[in-house]
Each structure stands twice: as C-alpha cells, then as structure tokens.
Structure 1
Amino acid sequence: MSLSDQNSPESRHDEKRDVFHSEDMTTPVLIDDAVDAENREHEMGAWEAAKSHPWACLWAFVMCFTIVMESFDMFLNGNFVALGAFQKKYGVLVDAATNTYAIPTRWQSALFQAGQCGAFVGVLVAGPVTDRLGYRWTTIMALLMMNATIFISFFADSLTVLTMGQALEGVPWGLFIANSPAYASEIVPLALRGACTATLQMSWSIGGIIVAAATYGINQRNDEWAWRLPLALQWIFPTPLLILVFLAPESPWGLIRHGRKEGALRSIKRLGPGPRDKAQQTYAMVQRTVEIEDQMGGNARFIEMFRGVELRRTAIICLMYASQNFAGNLIANQAVFFFEQAGISSNRAFELNLINSCLGLIANICSWFLSSWFGRRTIYPWGTATNITLLIVLGICASIKQNSATNYAQACLGILITFVFAGTLGPISYTVISETSSVRLRALSTGVDRAAYYVAEIPMIYLASQMLNTTGWNLAGKCGYVWAGTALVCWIGAYFGLPELKNRTYRESDILFKRKVPARKFKSTIIGVAENA
C-alpha cells in the first residue's frame, strides 16, 4: 500500500475498525476515541442527551419500574393493618365499647419485616447471579419468580401463611433493587444519570398511589376481598415487564467486562442512534474504563469491596442505603396507620394517604430538575436538614394538648416529611449509589450494599410499629423526636463523607477514589482526559 493510500479516509476508517477489536489500550487511535467520547459526554446537556438517547431512557425506566412491586407490597402491608375487615379477621379486641380491633404489634412487625428478610436474601444472591447471567436474564428470572410467589399471599388464610408469602415475594424484590440502579446508570449518558436513577423513587411513589387508590376504594368492605383484591393487583406488573425486559439490550459495560465485544457494540447502537464512529468511540470509552479498573483490582470478588479504595466506596453506599430508613420515611410506609393514630378518622386517613402518594410522585418529578441543577452534596444535606426540622415540629405538635387542629397539623407534617424525602433524600440516594461503586464490582456491590438497607430497615420497622401501635408505645406524632435524632446522624455522616460525583465519568470517579481525595474536594479536583491513574 502506498503512503497516499495509508493516509486516505478509507484507510483511517479501516484502522479504527481494527483498533476497535484490539486489546491494547495504548493504541493511540483507541485512546483518541475514548477521549472524544468522554468529552462528548461532558458537553452534552440533559435535554440533548434525552433527544439523542430516547431508547436508553426507556429501557432505564422499564428496569427501574420493577421496583414498583416492592413499593406496592410495602405500602399494602401498611394499609392492611388499618383496614377494618383485616383487623377483625386477624386482630385482637382492644376496646369492647367501640368494637375496635388491632393487629398485634408482633404480627404487624412480622408482616412488614417478612418481605424485607426475603429481599435481604435476594440482594445477597443478586451479585453472583447477575455477574454470571447479566442484568436482563436475572431480572427475567426474578419476574417469573414474582408471578409464582404472589399465589401464596393471595390464597393465604392466616397471618402465618401471609407472612410466609411476603417473605418469598421478597426474594425477587432483592434482585430488582440490586439490578435496577446499576443497569440504569450504565446505559444512559452522563447528563441523564441523576434523573434516570431517580426514577427508582418515582416507582415507589407510583406503587404507593396504586395501593392508596385501591385501598381507599375498598376500605369500607367488610369481607375478605378488602385485602385479597389489592393482593391480586400485584399480577398486573410482572408479565408486561417481563416482555419489555426481554426486548431490552444488555448493559454494554457488563458485556465488555465478560469479553463480549460484538454484543457490546450492538447494545451501544440500540441505546443511542448515531454514526458508527460515535458508537465505536463510546465503546472505546467503556473499554478504557474497564481496563483501568482491571489494572487497579483484577477479578471481581466479594472480598474486594472491603479492601483499600473499595472499602471507602462500600461505606458510602451502605450509608446512603441505610439512611433511607432513618430520616422519617417509615412514616410514609405506614401513612394510613399514622394518620389514624394522629386522631384522623379511618376514611379521611385513606383520603390523606392518596393525597400523600400523589404529592410524593410530584416531588420525585421535581427531583429530576434538582439533580440537574444542584450537586449531590447540596441536595442530600439540605433535604435531610429540612426533614429534621419538620420531625422536631411534629414531635412538639404531638406533645401539646390534642384537638382537631393538632390532629390535622400532625397529618400535614407527615405529608410534608414524605414530600421532602421523595424530592431530595430518596431519589438522590439512588443516584449516589449508582455513581459511587466501581464498574468492576457493580454487580456485586449493589447487592451487598443494598443488604445494609435491610439490616437497618428490619429493626427500624419494628421500632416504627412499636412507636405507633396502640398495643405498643402509642407515641403517635411524638415519634418525630426519635426520627429527628436518627436523621441527624445521617446528616453528619453525609457532611463528612459524601463526595460530589455530579458530572463525573466512571473513569474520573475511579481516579478520585484511588487518589484518596477528601469528599469536600471531589468537585474542585481536575482530572485530565488523558489520565488513567
């Protein structure tokens, strides 16, 4: 080949194609492609990214929407204990004069905790299973399992069987919550990472709205269908989601980690339309990051999450997950019961719960814009500080002489606390979680770190039930003092340990953690596009 032929555009294109299949990340053309793709990620705004990657947004939303099933069931259990028909069937008489029944605290806690115990098992197995099968097939398997386990809860004729059904349903929940934030963060452009991972919280809100609407519509029923109909509604989710997940592309990051290069390129093309050279540039960027991480730590193993640099990342994610249970959010999970304990009539409590769920969805939509405008270290601390203030006011309101005005004040404060959580702490936690873990350990990390959520939630559910139940401590709104104290611990931990990863690529995050940059300096530290360490 002549020199002129070598310098022709066709020759350069062939060189790029050959380099694309090369394992050598020192190849100049491949490095140039990776740099070009990363620069494009930084330059792309949220709206531009959404227009150029509509399919990536769709598949991220579909995967995140699997969380609606865990949300549905969690809110459903919180509503069961407030349903008159359910209380009479499975509860104990607490006031003969008014013929009032209540679910014993131990069974109330068991119903809330069973699913979380199952989910704890699910997240522990999610890492190895996902690492072997990929996000798609693991999620498909979990959806099939979900369809089967709903039968146990639906046909349950005792609290024991219902609790067992909830525990078994929890296993696929664990697989969903471990995979969803990781998959969503890997397939969308940098500018959309915050908004797309925040849809996890929106799925929680949607689940709450469906439950609130269903239970409000049937809370006057006096037969077993008052709780069996809502349980049957769970079947509307798994099959349609299974079909959509089957059609979705696998994450190109996971495919590259397993050496499936051609499959990774096909996924990249499906996720974002554009010229072939842009797809190759994106591939080069992913390949570069994967190889940098391989040089840092080698093969992905559980033990790696608790060593060196990865230990810090694991601690941050565990804090984010666990803190979701400490900032008053459990009030939302038992909203109807909380409203009733605050002195609101049963029918009005169900109405307020529906309003509460709808406002949560609005707050989550607002969080998409907040995550684009403000950093993680801004949204999380300010959201937590706001809820601490509201929780203290709630406790004060419950401590003074009670009347109709104080009852409604407590209910409104409960709604405000949920609104703040749904717009700040909740969605931004999922964003931080998806950004902080290394790509190499993500499949393992998201499962194990989610386990920290359940380790914190299971005792907190018991505590919440004890504080609200008439057969427990019967604190009503005074529980605000307790939640304000636990939320303060979260605020302190975030202030000193939460790094700012907004607008950082995974390569930049790896380098920042490897250099042990203090959390408060993540935002100001400059990482050159040519740096690998």
Structure 2
Amino acid sequence: MLSTVKRVAIPNPRYSAYGYEMLSKDEERPEVVQHDLFTNAEDATDKEHKLTLFSAIKLYPKAIAWSVIMSTSLVMDGYDLKLVGSLFAQPAFREAYGHRLSDGTYQISAPWQSGLNNGSNVGQMIGLLVAGVLVERFGFRKTMMVALVSVPCVIFIQFFATGLPQLQAGQVLLGIPLGIFQTVSCVYAMEVVPVSLRAYLTGFVSECWQIGQLLATCVLRGTLSMDAPWAYRVPFALQWFWPIPLLIATIFAPESPWWLVRQNCIEEAKASVFRLASGEKDPDFNIDKNVALMVLTTEHEREANSGISYLSCFRGTDLRRTLIVMGCYIVTVTTGSTVRAYA
C-alpha cells in the first residue's frame, strides 16, 4: 500500500488552477504542496482498498463496460485458435488444400498442420513483444485501433488463399494484432478499475477466449454441409465483421488515466477518470486525489527504477514478481493441453 512506501524525492509537483502539474527539477517546490500530494495520494489509496466488490461496481460501471469492450477483442483470438485446427477435419478444406491418398481421400500433411497451428502463435509472440512499446508511446486507444484496422486486411489473405503457403502467411500476420489484443485488453482492465475489480475483469479475458472457440465450433458445424469453397471461406469471412463494432467503440473509449499521467497529461487524466467513474454516486470520491495517487506512484516507480524498461522486470523485487507471473502462465501449458490437442 502507498502508506508503507518510502517517501522518495520526486520531480516537483504543483497545483495549477485545476490540479497537479510537473515542474522542472530546477524549480522549487513548496513544502505544503508536497505534503498535500502525499496526503491526497494516501487518502485515495485508503479509499480504493476499502472499496467492496459491490461498491466498486456501483462507482465504476462505465470503467467495467469499457474494459469488457476492450476484452471482447480476444473473442477473435479464441475464434482463430479453434478455426484452423478444426478445418483440418472438414472435407471441403482437405480437398482444396490437402493431397490425395491411395484410398481416394484427402489429407493435410502433419508438417503443414503443425505449421498452420503454430503460425498464429509465432505472430502472437511478435505482437505481445511490440504491444508494450506501442502502448507506452501511443496509448491504449491508438494501439488498439491500428490493430483492429489491420485485421480485415489480413483476412483477405486467408479468404483468397489458393495454397497452404498463403494460409501460413495469413496465420502469422493475423497473430500479430491478436497478440496486441492480449496485452492491451488485460493491462487496460488493470488500469481503469480499482483493485477489487481487477481479478474479475482480467479473468473475463479468458472467458472471451472460450466464447471465441465456442463460436468457431458453431460456425464450422453450420458450414459443414456447404459446397466448396464457401464451406471454409465463410468461417474466414465472418472475421471481417468483428473488428467493426470494436473499432467504433474504441474511438469513443477513454484513454487510461495512468498512461496519461505517465505522459504528464494531468488534465486529460482527470477527464478520463471523470468518464470512467460515477462520482456522483459516492460523495467521498475525489478525482484530484485519485490523480494524485497516480502521479505519486508513477514518479516513485521512475525514481526507483531510473526509467521504465523491460530490463527493470528482472532486477530486485521486480524479478520475484516477474517469476511469479511467468509461473502462473506456464501452469496453463504444463498441464499437457497442447499435447492432448495433437493427439
């Protein structure tokens, strides 16, 4: 909690007509302002940690809605994950892209099955790595919008593919925005809602994966009896629709106030908090204090790490947190789910 954090020297904050600004290191800071900053930040911390689940839902319904909208982009990830692997069993797809066996049936070779299944994973690894850099520089909204715009372009490759190499290229390229969705949706959820809601909204990310897989199963079952090439092109074509409503929603979505504070856009951060919270439902809610918490936390992290970088995740106490998170993700694959899928 903030109250247990050592009070370190931070770049001088001051009050403008509306709130905090960052002063240069050469400017002097009145002690009263420093005291007010810590007091407001501690009050916001205490308030946030005392929020019950239902109180948080009442205070942050708009933040919950925006987080859910961002997370539904991962429905496409779950859809793509189930789609290609299931198409290997579809007669029309096997006849179009497979080779003829001695008994007259068609089959996709094992190397191509493995390549197509893992092509998206390769692209997602790229997307996961670049997402952090893009988000920190351009923000959550712009990063998400660019990724959503790129998806329909890549679907053209899959839809009109005449051979397995084109499909492979489409899988790798599609994986990049899908990897970006994974990073943006989860981190956005953590930054726009209080602590008591984070577990539920980050857990909803996994639900979106399952929803996508269920939709893919239903679509493939519905197109099973269709004639080629529509039996396998219709499932690909449906991916053109999903980014459209998400893109429209993202255009109007509020930016993360934490990211705005990191960019020293204090007034914009306050406006974002105002859009995310329903302060009129809680007379004790104070936007200035919430932003003060963000300012102090951000500057403390910068002072402690001398700059935010990927390398900082593997130093000091951050290394322990990194290993814990890595362990949680490793558990999901060490259960043998991937091996069972290939069986």
Q: TM-score range by the shorter chain?
A: 0.7 to 0.9
Counterpart-to-counterpart distance in 2, 1:87 and 1:53: 49
Counterpart-to-counterpart distance in 1, 2:306 and 2:243: 37
**Aligned residue number for residue 223 of structure 2:** 218
- Say if 2:21 and 2:264, in contact at 8 Å, map to a contact too: no
**Aligned residue number for residue 266 of structure 1:** 271
**Aligned residue number for residue 204 of structure 1:** 209
Counterpart-to-counterpart distance in 1, 2:220 and 2:79: 12
**Aligned residue number for residue 303 of structure 1:** 311
Counterpart-to-counterpart distance in 2, 1:223 and 1:158: 14
**Aligned residue number for residue 43 of structure 2:** 36
Q: TM-score, normalised by structure 1?
A: 0.57
**Aligned residue number for residue 238 of structure 1:** 243
- Say if 1:139 and 1:176, in contact at 8 Å, map to a contact too: yes
Counterpart-to-counterpart distance in 1, 2:247 and 2:331: 31
- Change in 2 beyond 3 A, CA 1:300/1:78: same
- Say if 1:19 and 1:29, in contact at 8 Å, map to a contact too: no
Report SS of the residue matched to 1:27.
Answer: helix
Unpaired segments of 5 or more residues in structure 2?
Answer: 1-14, 24-28
- Change in 2 beyond 3 A, CA 1:19/1:137: closer
**Aligned residue number for residue 129 of structure 2:** 124
Counterpart-to-counterpart distance in 2, 1:171 and 1:29: 45
Query: 1:80: Cα distance to partner?
Result: 0.5
Report SS of the residue matched to 1:157.
Answer: coil
- Say if 1:19 and 1:27, in contact at 8 Å, map to a contact too: no
- Change in 2 beyond 3 A, CA 1:283/1:82: same
- Change in 2 beyond 3 A, CA 1:217/1:309: same
Query: 1:244: Cα distance to partner?
Result: 0.6
- Say if 1:70 and 1:173, in contact at 8 Å, map to a contact too: yes
Query: 1:29: Cα distance to partner?
Result: 2.1
Matched, 1:69 2:91: no
Coordinate RMSD, CA, aligned: 2.2
**Aligned residue number for residue 184 of structure 1:** 189
Q: Tell me which amino acid in the other structure corresponds to 1:137.
A: K
Query: 1:180: Cα distance to partner?
Result: 1.2
- Change in 2 beyond 3 A, CA 1:88/1:195: same
Q: Tell me which amino acid in the other structure corresponds to 2:324.
A: I
- Say if 1:19 and 1:30, in contact at 8 Å, map to a contact too: no
Query: 1:140: Cα distance to partner?
Result: 0.6
Which residue, out of 293, 301, 326, partners 2:301?
A: 293
Q: TM-score, normalised by structure 2?
A: 0.86
- Change in 2 beyond 3 A, CA 1:147/1:18: closer
- Change in 2 beyond 3 A, CA 1:87/1:18: closer
1:73-118: CA deviation from partner (whole Å, max 9, x where unpaired): 111012101212212222345572xx54432111111111111111
1:406-454: CA deviation from partner (whole Å, max 9, x where unpaired): xxxxxxxxxxxxxxxxxxxxxxxxxxxxxxxxxxxxxxxxxxxxxxxxx
Counterpart-to-counterpart distance in 2, 1:165 and 1:40: 48
Once structures 1 and 2 are overlaid, which stretch shifts more, 202-211 or 22-31? Answer: 22-31
Q: Tell me which amino acid in the other structure corresponds to 2:200.
A: A
Matched, 1:81 2:81: no
Number of positions where the alignment pairs a residue of Structure 1 with one of Structure 2: 319
**Aligned residue number for residue 151 of structure 2:** 146
1:364-411: CA deviation from partner (whole Å, max 9, x where unpaired): xxxxxxxxxxxxxxxxxxxxxxxxxxxxxxxxxxxxxxxxxxxxxxxx
Q: How does 1:268-347 map to 2 (within 5 A)?
A: 268-274=273-279, 278-330=286-338
Report SS of the residue matched to 1:39.
Answer: helix
Counterpart-to-counterpart distance in 2, 1:165 and 1:220: 25
Counterpart-to-counterpart distance in 2, 1:130 and 1:159: 33
- Change in 2 beyond 3 A, CA 1:329/1:279: farther
1:500-525: CA deviation from partner (whole Å, max 9, x where unpaired): xxxxxxxxxxxxxxxxxxxxxxxxxx
Query: 1:299: Cα distance to partner?
Result: 1.2
- Change in 2 beyond 3 A, CA 1:249/1:134: same
1:180-237: CA deviation from partner (whole Å, max 9, x where unpaired): 1111111011111111111111111111121111111111234221110000000111
Report SS of the residue matched to 1:30.
Answer: helix
Q: Tell me which amino acid in the other structure corresponds to 2:97.
A: Y
Query: 1:279: Cα distance to partner?
Result: 0.8
Q: Tell me which amino acid in the other structure corresponds to 1:296.
A: A
- If asked which structure has higher relative contact order (CA below 8 Å, sep 6+), I would say 2
Counterpart-to-counterpart distance in 2, 1:126 and 1:225: 34
Counterpart-to-counterpart distance in 1, 2:46 and 2:164: 57
- Say if 2:59 and 2:278, in contact at 8 Å, map to a contact too: yes
Which residue, out of 69, 84, 90, partners 2:97?
A: 90
Q: Tell me which amino acid in the other structure corresponds to 2:298.
A: V
1:17-71: CA deviation from partner (whole Å, max 9, x where unpaired): 6763466697222222212211121221112211211110011111111111111
Which residue, out of 106, 112, 119, partners 1:107?
A: 112
